[in-house]
Amino acid sequence: MGYISRQQYYQRAYVPDTAIVTSNDAEKKVLGLTYTLSKEITLVAPIYSGSQLRVYYETKIDTPPNVVTSNIFRNGIAIGTERTNNTNGYIAYEEDLPTIGWKIGDKIQIWEYDTFIVLYAYCRNFRIKGVGSEFVNTVV
């Protein structure tokens, strides 16, 4: 005779906010004419699929008038809005993204490229923002 046991697991439901959940703030520079991984944060806890997280980051280019193009990716697939910056001063970008289907181990990433191969594209202050409340799901 078999039985099904009850298993509980914790998830967090997030709403976009200014509170920093996690960050990767160090400045990173990349070189390339096609999208290149610049920054990455790995999801280490379950997130409720009905949530939204705010992704924040800043970019700049080595030497104007060249352009840095950047976007938010999940596991190597673009999920955000493509952004461009042609200044050597940092410009901040923020975007609220739904967490449908996100799971532990997923990578939230910033990919970027420059329009001229010998110049760098920079990224810093990559932050995931939101306010979360923990709740228990029971699997029967």
Please, which residues bridge with residue 25 across strands?
none
What does the pLDDT read at residue 125? 98
Structural domain spans, the chain: 13-139
What's the CA gap between 110 and 124, in Å, rounded?
A: 10
What's the CA gap between 140 and 132, in Å, rounded?
A: 25
For residue 55, give Cα distances in angstroms to 23, 74, 90, 99.
10, 12, 16, 12
Give per-residue pLDDT as tens, 98-140: 988 888 889 999 999 998 877 899 999 999 998 876 555 444 3
Give per-residue pLDDT as tens, 25-62: 999 999 989 999 999 999 887 788 788 889 999 999 98
Please, which residues bridge with residue 83 across strands?
70
Q: Domain 13-139, what fold?
A: Jelly Rolls (2.60.120)
Angle at 81 between CA 99 and CA 42, to 5 degrees: 40
Helix (H) or strand (E) holding 27: none
Total-model pTM? 0.86
Structure tokens at 46: 């379950």
Residue with tokens 């996690």: 22
